[in-house]
Amino acid sequence: MKVVFASTPDQEEEIKVLVSQFYMTIFPLYFSDKDIKEFERLKVLHTSTRHFEYFGTLKEAYQVITSLQTIISILESSEPQPKYKSLFQKNVRILKDYGLFFPFDFNQFLEAKNIKNDVFSVYTKAANELLV
């Protein structure tokens, strides 16, 4: 008999927060609003109840969380370094193994960084809020 521990609601919430961080922080650094809207339509990094069944144990949920955090760390750097390509790919593979759709290659982010203009995005979290 093998004993496993189910993922917790807090872990599931953390995964949702990290996915949200991709849309509000990471994608706007590299892609246009039009591209990001298309990612939403394609359900990039979309999580559902079915996904939480895939990573239903503590270990699996932590693997997904760690993979998301690692990719975020690599992409948040001012210039993603080519030396992190294999680490990036390994973590993308883990996400795919758990049913999360992340159709990007490391080189796409390098190319997108060079093309992206510094314009405001509707996906970026506001720096401040105006109370009316």
- pLDDT for residue 51 is more than 60: no
DSSP 48-82: -HHHHHHT-BHHHHHHHHHHHHHHHHHHHSSS--G
Identify the pLDDT of residue 80.
76
Chain segment 58-108, per-residue pLDDT in tens: 788 899 999 999 999 999 987 778 889 999 999 999 999 988 999 999 998
Contact 96, 102 (CB under 8 A): yes
Q: What is the pTM of this model?
A: 0.80
Contact 95, 63 (CB under 8 A): no
- pLDDT for residue 55 is more than 90: no
Identify the pLDDT of residue 45.
93
Mean pLDDT for the stretch of residues 41-52: 80
Please give the Cα distance from 2 to 88 (Å, whole number).
32
Mean pLDDT for the stretch of residues 19-43: 93
Contact 30, 112 (CB under 8 A): yes
How many residues make up the chain in this entry?
Answer: 132
What six digits make up the tokens of 87? Answer: 């680490």
